Chain A
Amino acid sequence: MTAAVARPTRFGRLRGGFSTLGSGIGAVVAKELRGRMRGRRAFAIVTVYLVLLSVFTWGIYEFQRQINAWRFAPGAFDPSFGGSLVPLSATVGQAIFSGLLVLETLLILVLAPALTSGAISLEREKQTLDLLVTTPLSRLALVVGKLVSALTYVVLLILASIPLSAIVFTFGGVGPEDIARAYLFLFAVAFGTGSIALFWSALLKRTQAATVITYLTVLGLTLGATVVYVFWFAMAQQASPGLFDDRTLTTRRPPEAVMWFNPFIGDLDLICGTSIAGIDPTCEMVNVVTGRSSPFATEPVPVGIEAAGDCPPNARCLPADGGAIGAPVKPGVDPFELLRDTFWPRSAIAFTSLGLILTLLSSRLVTPAVRRYRRFRR
């Protein structure tokens, strides 16, 4: 009896390829996590991290309480804070949310490179890469497995902070959707930052060099980009016919993309999203970057607002669709709606895209030590 040999279809081959990739990633993740989560170290770090985070949260709570006590003390009421519009306890919730968000962003920027920058270079240094490369394990599976296992630990730390973040619900001012947005953004930042470290680790021979260059890259993307932005912005102002002429600024201003890899701007946007009617200094900063409005705007208050007093100076009194400055607000647009998602989604997409590109590039760079070394010597 002859059995017909069934040739695998294109779909079958694709499925087989994905299954091989999946099992390869699983192998690397299992190996990495076994090493990383072994013993007391990993859990000690989580504990210390949560204790520090709790102390920090309590600090914010006390700080905000003091401010509120001072702000709402008899005779010290200052309506310019916008405090009258916001329930008192909500300010505490928002402050805790803001503090935790910024702290966790900082944590990711520090921790993700530290966990990933040795991913490939350590394999070279320990002379284990040759053993791996001669197995059918694909190079993509190796780098993705390394990245996933490093990020799993970062994600574990982020997820461990959820109960702390949930404290904000007892104060109000921040909705579950704000928390969800924040975590989504943090995951994207972790992926992007981790892949930067992975890339340098695959390219360079030494882990030390990879770590230093990764931190320099992260510093460049955050602080460096901000310096470039501020400089560019100042140049645009210089070039404008009137010092604060917004029309020139809208055409010559630095592109928002310069700040996409500065996760703190995304944080500001997320914090701004919790404020009512965008009356918050964070919204101002985000607006400067996105060009929705300038803090130096001297344009007349858009048509549609009854009285100038209704729209505080520098607040967003523009159409929600981001129309031209000074354009009349369309009838029916609520000027007090929440100002949300004006910047961070693009930043998150940028981080994710960077992560995907660098991960693919890294998989191309995984070569045995000898070959890389010689190529570098050339």
Chain B
Amino acid sequence: MSTVIRADGLTKRYNGTLAVAGVDLLVDEGEIHGLVGPNGAGKTTLLKMLATLLPPTAGDAEVAGASVRREPDSVRHVIGYMPDSFGVYDDMKVWEYLDFFGRCYGLPAARRRRMIGDLLELVDLADKREAYVQSLSRGMQQRLCLAHTLVHDPSVLLLDEPASGLDPRARVELRELLRELRTLGKTILISSHILPELEELCTSVAIIDRGQLLASGRMDEIEARLRAGAVLRARIVGQEPERAAASAFFIAQPDVASVDTLPDGTLELAFTGDEAAGAGLLARAIRAGHRIATFSRAASDLEELFLQVTAVEPAPVPSPRPERPGPPAGWGAGVR
């Protein structure tokens, strides 16, 4: 599988503030690569550099083999870019909107006509063909904007928070649409700060915070890498004395850093061992006579991944300027 997006020390500095600090990123062909990070982490700046909207201060990136620095025109032909906030033109019908962008890419009239029909079918707006763009709902406008990124059949899609401001139903529809695009062979780099949204969609992720790339790779690879520091949960059959005995047993074991008792009585072990060590721990506990109803690794979802990765304080860098005014970083703020 070939690499479609390759960022090499990509850096953007605004007035002495590092927004993106030397990001190295690899995205393989056909991936849906999630870019995760709190507000102001540098996701939008990174995407804008890849979309040739902003020149990098240092470093370079290649999209489908073309350098964003030296060959921005070539890059523009292979990417479809959807910004996080975008506007629509007044006095313009849905088909005219797509026709305009088709003309911008220099597509001949016959191909434009065909493309408009196909894309409106794809994003489920065929019945809105003659409607004015400003009369569409937010979800429809998002889908139309996504359709506009596809007019020239690009191989790479750069989508900045495509699901922001959508209701749950529209989100599900968008997710289905992106999956369909992946089956069409598109490589998609998608940013979001809403983790469940990405979790169900992405095949690989990159976690970015304060302009730095903290982790990147396929979902399962990152999980495996983090498995050495997992949280184990054990539910003990019995009342308080049995639980206290089990807790005393676990804390005495190697690889167990600490044991907490959750309100429902479940024991939560901070475990530093790998999967095999976990199995050994369970076997010893049973041999010791503890009655264990369930013993499991706490679900290692993207959210937890993110919390774990960002819990390690990165090298101090000047705090980047927020990408846009907004509420304080919700789930990211709790980490630090």
Contact = CB atoms under 8 A, between A and B. Distances in A.
Contact of B48 (A24, A128, A136, A370): A370
A131 B103 contact: no
A134 B96 contact: no
Contacts of B48: 130, 368, 370
A120 to B, nearest CB: 14
Q: Which of B15, B54, B100, B148 has most chain A Cβ within 10 Å? A: B100
A130 B86 contact: yes
Nearest to B15: A378
Interface string A11-35: 0000000001001101100110011
A31 B148 contact: no
Given A134-B52, A136-B77, A34 B101 contact: no
Contact of A24 (B86, B92, B104, B145): B104
B73 interface: yes
B14 A374 contact: yes
Given A127-B83, A370-B48, A135 B101 contact: yes
B63 to A, nearest CB: 11
Nearest to B81: A134
Contacts of B101: 131, 135
Contact of A27 (B81, B87, B92, B103): B103
A370 B45 CA distance: 10
A196 B313 CA distance: 52
Contacts of B90: 35
B136 interface: no
A221 to B, nearest CB: 32
B35 to A, nearest CB: 17
B236 interface: no
Interface string B65-101: 0000000010011010101011111111000100011
Contacts of B100: 27, 30-31
B77 A31 contact: no
A145 to B, nearest CB: 10
A10 interface: no
A378 B85 CA distance: 24
Contacts, number: 82
A242 B52 CA distance: 67
A132 interface: yes
Given A130-B83, A131-B148, A133-B53, A30 B91 contact: no
B51 interface: yes
B249 interface: no
A7 interface: no
Interface string B1-45: 000000000000011000000000000000000000000000000
Nearest to B76: A136
Contacts of A137: 104
Interface in B146-163: 148
Contacts of A31: 89, 92, 96, 100, 103
Interface residues of A, number: 30
Contacts of B331: none
Contacts of B15: 374, 377-378
A371 interface: yes
Interface size class of B (residues with CB under 8 A): 20 to 34
Nearest to A27: B103
A378 B14 CA distance: 10
A161 to B, nearest CB: 26
B106 interface: yes
Interface in A34-67: 34-36, 38-39
B104 A136 contact: yes
A164 to B, nearest CB: 30
A276 B103 CA distance: 53
B87 A126 contact: yes
B85 A127 contact: yes
Contacts of A127: 83, 85-87
Contacts of B106: 20, 23-24, 136
A132 B91 contact: no
Nearest to A367: B53
A113 to B, nearest CB: 20
Contact of B91 (A26, A35, A133): A35
A27 B92 CA distance: 14
Given A134-B81, A368-B54, A374-B14, A35 B92 contact: yes
A134 B103 contact: no
Given A134-B52, A135-B104, A136-B76, A34 B86 contact: no
A132 B83 CA distance: 11
B182 to A, nearest CB: 21
A181 B289 CA distance: 107
Given A23-B103, A378-B15, A134 B76 contact: yes
Interface in A93-147: 125-128, 130-137
B88 to A, nearest CB: 7
Contacts of B53: 130, 133-134, 368, 370-371
Nearest to A127: B87
Nearest to B51: A134
Nearest to A35: B91
Nearest to B79: A134
A42 to B, nearest CB: 11
A128 B88 contact: yes
Contacts of B81: 130-131, 134
A20 B81 CA distance: 21
User: 10 smallest A-B Cβ distances: which pairs?
Assistant: A27-B103, A126-B87, A35-B91, A127-B87, A135-B104, A137-B104, A134-B81, A31-B100, A130-B83, A128-B87
26 contacts: A23-B103, A24-B106, A26-B103, A27-B104, A30-B100, A30-B103, A31-B89, A31-B96, A34-B92, A35-B90, A35-B92, A39-B91, A126-B89, A127-B86, A127-B87, A128-B89, A130-B48, A130-B53, A131-B86, A132-B104, A133-B52, A134-B81, A136-B76, A136-B106, A137-B104, A370-B48
Interface of A: 20, 23-24, 26-27, 30-31, 34-36, 38-39, 125-128, 130-137, 368, 370-371, 374, 377-378
Given A31-B89, A35-B91, A128-B86, 17 more contacts: A24-B106, A27-B104, A34-B96, A35-B92, A36-B91, A38-B91, A130-B48, A130-B83, A131-B83, A131-B86, A131-B145, A135-B76, A135-B101, A136-B104, A136-B105, A368-B53, A368-B54
